[in-house]
Amino acid sequence: MSEQQHRNKSGFETRAIHAGYEPDAATGAVIPPIYATSTYKQDGVGGLRGGYEYSRSANPTRTALEGNIAALEEGERGFAFASGLAAEDTLVRGLCRPGDHVVIPDDAYGGTFRLFDKVEKVWGLEYSPAPVSDLEKVAAAVRPGETKLVWVETPTNPLLNIGDIEALAAIAHDVGALLVVDNTFASPYLQQPLTLGADVVVHSTTKYCGGHSDVVGGAIVVKDLDLAEKVTFHQNAMGAVAGPFDAWLTLRGLKTLALRMERHCDNAERVVDFLTSHPAVGDVIYPGLETHPGHEVAQRQMKRYGGMVSFRVNGGEAQALSVCERTEVFTLGESLGGVESLIEHPGRMTHASVAGTDLEVPADLVRLSVGIETADDLVADLERALG
């Protein structure tokens, strides 16, 4: 049994704390040191010591994070980047060429859409949006011989649509494409796409993986070693790597991911219960609701339903903006997945880049990242804000 297979047989919480690093041989340090160095003394010309020569290529702190997140996603190799978008760009340029085609969600995160529409498209990559929850439309968007990636978020940002990972993998593989799953919203604790047939997982580790709103980062995890070689080359060649302090903070966050996600889910369910009965709220969007169209799929492929909640208000955009401005415990801000609760207006904030496109989000939509505060305080805060 390989070391990776042994790690993957341990429980999630055990892997989160131990995978990727052994106590330091020299000092016994149980937490990886922050290797704040740019270069390394080599054992002769071309003789790398422990595989290290220059910290863009590899750094021991980053190596620990990469091994840890690979174990949590039950993959073979992990890669840490300066941001989620840096990870995405590196992956796309490593696996695609000008003239290729990808399928993306029709309600993708605004930054991902901007990357494909304003950066990769200029480079020569074509894309087609399709709803991740509609297998027939995804299959119709695929171009045999041209499509290299089927790119999926599940749950999606911000409409929380659910894609059937196993079925989407079959669609991609039928035409020789790879399935890429952005697992940011679920986190590795709630969902492991590689075990369901996906080829690549991407993360904004800024969010639940880091979990404390104090670091920006991204990650890629793959299960195929040939694919890993391509990502390794482009990670080094493009250079958008995670610095050692950022890697250390993210690794620290991953150690408590399981505990945090349970509380995020508990609090989100309390918030959903409140919102579904409030007269000012028209529609509550949460995969844990039996009325959610993706509930059965989410129930099958997720451990729980996550800490993200979206809802639409009856008073239109004006009321949505008012709610965002009136909360006190929920902080008005972009991002998500931290210990603190956040509220935002996607149409004016995180998804402003899709305004006027087919991916435009409803103006009356409010998105919550439900934190780990006292649930009663969160409910009371929303009750005040909704008037």
| pLDDT score of 190 more than 50 | yes
| pLDDT score of 273 more than 50 | yes
CA distance 316 to 307: 24
Q: Are 375 and 266 in contact (CB under 8 A)?
A: yes
Q: Give the pLDDT score at 45.
A: 84
Concatenating the DSSP letter of every residue in 110-148 gives HHHHHIIIIIIHHHT-EEEEE-TT-HHHHHHH--TTTEE
CA distance 363 to 361: 6
Bridge partners (DSSP) of residue 367 are 310, 344
Give the mean model confidence (pLDDT) for residues 115-130: 97
Which position has the token pair 């670091």?
Answer: 215
Q: What is the pLDDT of residues 355-385, one digit of tens each?
A: 787 778 899 999 999 999 999 999 999 999 9
Q: Are 194 and 228 in contact (CB under 8 A)?
A: no
Question: 8 falls in which pLDDT band (50, 70, 90)?
Answer: low
Q: Whole-model pTM?
A: 0.94
Q: Are 30 and 251 in contact (CB under 8 A)?
A: no
CA dihedral of residues 16, 268, 286, 281 (deg, nearest 10): -160
CA distance 141 to 219: 27
Least-confidence region, from 45-54, 88-97, 259-268, 362-371: 45-54
Helices 257-276 and 375-386, axial angle in degrees (round to 10): 40
Q: Give the pLDDT score at 174.
A: 98
Q: Give the pLDDT score at 23.
A: 95
| pLDDT score of 39 more than 60 | yes
Concatenating the DSSP letter of every residue in 11-32 gives -HHHHHHHTT----TTT--SS-
| pLDDT score of 2 more than 50 | no
Pairing between β-strand 342-344 and β-strand 178-182 as defined by DSSP bridges: unpaired
CA distance 132 to 114: 18
| pLDDT score of 337 more than 80 | yes
Residue 241 DSSP one-character state: B
CA distance 262 to 260: 5
CA distance 116 to 101: 11
Positions marked active-site: 56, 109, 182, 207
